Amino acid sequence: MFDLNGKNVVYVGGFSGIGYQVCHLLMKKNISHLIVMGRMENVEMMQKLQAENSSVEVVFIHMNLMDRANIEQAVKQVMGVIKHIDVLINGAGVLADKDMETTMGVNLMGMMNMVWLCLPYMDKMQMGQGGIVMNIASVYGLEPAPAFPVYAAAKHGVIGFTRSMADQHHYQHTGVAFFVVCPGLTTSEMMVNLREKSMMGQQSYAGELVKAMGHAKHQSPEDCAMNIVNAMEIMKNGAVYLCNMGQLKEVMPTNYWHL
């Protein structure tokens, strides 16, 4: 089990839906610092988080996940606040298949750049003390998304990257555990205007696919966040979790080839 007490936590993502609820739960864990990194600050939400626990230092740092140089500068700002990172949560997500560059850039490339730039401050062989990297993917990283194939490709990439970084050869040297949580459909701003976001939505036959997503049963952000924090505390290196309808279930991917 991973004890969050006294830990420096960096959360990358927005303030709506799952993101805020995860931060809200972390504030109850007596962490040392909560650093939120994202494109737009929500001052009201930041003040609300800080009011929940005055002993935790809450800081917002502006960052554009589409710009590696900007990410590098933002990480330097983080390290001006803390000396090492114990927990990195990559929770930023975009559902916008019509804009392939943004969909791949935020969901996959931005996440990988964050890991590369933060890892020296986590790696016990460099400037860190070990810790955990949690990447938030999607159920569509585990299975096809006919209405959103670009989003599915990005989230499949998140899982592949996470599992690769969790290899024991890395873990035994760095002390950094990697695992991934795949939420099912969750009530959030992301699920609004799905047809307009889908590259396939303009095809007459694809409308039913988009409509089915909109009408499917969704879990609450609160339930999803609770299981994300549970997965953090379990801290099983290499784990892939499905987080859906209040349940956290480990998925066991098949390995077909070994070195």
Closest alpha carbon to 130 in 237, 22, 210? 237
Cβ(87)–Cβ(36) below 8 Å = no
Residue 221 is predicted with a pLDDT of 82
CA 190, 193, 194, 199 torsion: positive or negative? negative
Residue 1 is predicted with a pLDDT of 87
Residue 215 is predicted with a pLDDT of 63
How far apart, in whole angstroms, are the C-alpha atoms of residue 201 and residue 206?
A: 6
How far apart, in whole angstroms, are the C-alpha atoms of residue 51 and residue 122?
A: 28
pLDDT (tens place) for every residue of the chain, 259 residues total:
899 999 999 999 987 788 899 999 999 999 999 999 999 888 999 999 999 999 999 999 999 999 999 999 999 999 999 999 999 999 999 888 889 999 999 999 999 999 999 999 999 999 999 999 999 999 999 999 888 899 999 999 999 999 999 999 999 999 999 999 999 876 665 544 555 556 665 665 666 666 666 666 777 889 989 999 999 999 999 999 999 988 999 999 988 987 7
Strands (DSSP E) found in the chain: 8-12, 33-38, 57-62, 87-90, 131-136, 176-183, 240-244, 247-251
Place of tokens 């990439």: 157
Phi, psi of 217 (to 5 degrees): -70, 135
Q: Which residues are catalytic?
A: 151
Q: Which 3 state secondary structure label does DSSP give 123?
A: coil
Cβ(35)–Cβ(49) below 8 Å = no
- 216: amino acid identity, one letter: A
Residue 145 is predicted with a pLDDT of 87
CATH class belonging to 8-245: alpha beta
